[in-house]
Amino acid sequence: MILIDNTLILKDFIASKGFPKDDSYDNHIWFNKTNKLRGTVVKQFDAAVDHFVSISNHKKRGPKQLKDFRFHWEVLLRSLSSALLQRKWLVVPMTKDWYGGAESKLWLEDYSQALFREILDFMRDKDLIELRAGKQFKSGPMVTRAYPEPSLAVDLVSFGLYVEKPFKGPYVSIKEPSEGWEHINKLPNDHQEIKDLKKINAFLKKHSWACKGPIVRKYKHDIFHSGRLITPFQNLPQTSYPLRINTLIGGKPIAEVDFSSNHLRLQLAVLHGTTAPEDPYTEIGKLTDNLERYWVKRFITAAMGASSRKKGRGALYGLGFNEKLIDKVEEATLQLYPDLVLYDGWGTVAQSLEGDILKGVLLDGVDAGVVCLPIHDAIAVQQKYVDWAKERMLHHWSEVTGGYKTYVSVTYPEDCVLPEALEGHTDDHF
């Protein structure tokens, strides 16, 4: 079992949440044939596939053709279940040039565009999915997307939790490498970064948790930007509804240990040699007519992550800020921390530092026999290891920043709001 029993009440809530936003590639995921289902739901999933194959197979197919038809059903149902839990649209290319010819994608060679079209049309006609056709935009094409309707979603919730991604490399990669950094995608096996990630994944592979998959490290441009530890588990919802915190590690309840105001503290320590009080977001909020901490955190995250003032303000408008509120929070922030650098892309630098810190914690976990799952700037562990995780996180944060102090907070399942209190909540930024 990988889900606490009392969160089964989340099932209908998740299924009826409505469609996620469809305004950017960040809200899309691709289907994947290598992911597999493990655990107690396999028989249930196979029965569901058999059912859909039987009611949708309107053509005379021989054994080989029927097997291929079933394979495409498996891929789509498994991928839709992952999309549902991550609140993202499933991307399925529907034009032939993706599957053959000069423009074909090698990773699509095992798939049939015709079978995908047949199955998706059937699911749409039976009101099982919302299907949105692809379009051509200035910034690039938007291919066909699908998302489960409530009638299908209620049955897919359990499947998604048991989807497991294979543990195989590369565990370290770099996107859009700057000149001289291309070698990151081809590090030798004896490189320390590769050895560290292999050690972590060899240990974790033996254990169980929801949306199980390897820990990978992804940089952008160079090793000083991005570089967080990534794993499918961290994509489970938490803010809009408390699903992730109600899952289990090794059959035991978990807690999440989180660095407090981490990007702000990291910059103060690394660039300015100073620290902040226990809750700087609340202190900033006091100078802005007691603005809720939630909104201050959003401002700091966007302002520190943006590479320019124009982009930062654009991101903040999208989060619900107006110009007056942006000016007010910015003024309060700089009043308390006049050296703080905003709108300069510091967020991606902080992510690289977070990757260093959490990798140290995960390596300690291997040596201590403790399963640690990274969640951006936090760690999920079994509840009995909370004190151990706090100590190790504070140790590695201090080590990376040159001896400075930070704070951590702990979240337990009972700390989170249940669905009855979430009615009408529309925040999809989790």
Asked whether the CA dihedral 339, 342, 345, 351 is positive or negative, the reply is positive
Domain ranges of the chain: 5-160, 172-262+347-422, 277-336
Helix then strand then coil, % of the chain, to nearest 5: 50, 15, 35
Largest CA distance in the chain: 73
* pLDDT, position 155: 82
* pLDDT, position 8: 53
* pLDDT, position 32: 78
DSSP state letters, 202-230? HHHTTS-BTT----EEEEESEEEEEEEEE
* pLDDT, position 258: 96
- Output the pTM of the full model: 0.86
CA dihedral 127, 70, 211, 198 (to 10 degrees): -150
- In sequence order, which residues have a C-beta less than 8 Å from that of residue 153 and are 6 or more positions away? 14, 15, 16, 84
Distance CA 48, CA 68 (A): 16
* pLDDT, position 85: 84
How close are the terminal C-alpha atoms of the chain, in Å?
24
Q: What is the pLDDT along the chain (430 residues), one digit of tens a residue?
A: 566 554 455 666 666 677 888 877 778 888 877 788 888 889 999 999 999 999 999 888 999 999 999 999 999 999 999 998 888 899 998 877 777 655 555 557 778 889 999 999 999 999 999 999 876 554 555 689 999 998 898 888 888 889 899 999 899 999 999 998 999 998 999 999 999 999 999 999 999 999 999 999 999 999 989 999 999 999 888 877 788 998 999 999 999 999 999 999 999 999 999 999 999 999 999 999 999 999 999 999 999 999 999 999 999 998 899 999 999 999 999 999 999 999 999 999 999 999 999 999 999 999 999 999 999 999 999 999 999 999 999 999 999 999 999 999 999 998 886 555 434 333 332 2
Give pLDDT tens digits for 168-189: 989 999 999 999 899 999 899 9
* pLDDT, position 3: 61
* pLDDT, position 430: 22
For residue 122, with 0-12 CB atoms within 10 Å meaning exposed, 13-18 middle and 19 or more buried, which class applies?
Answer: middle
Of the candidates 125, 192, 185, the one whose C-alpha atom is nearest the C-alpha of residue 152 is 125
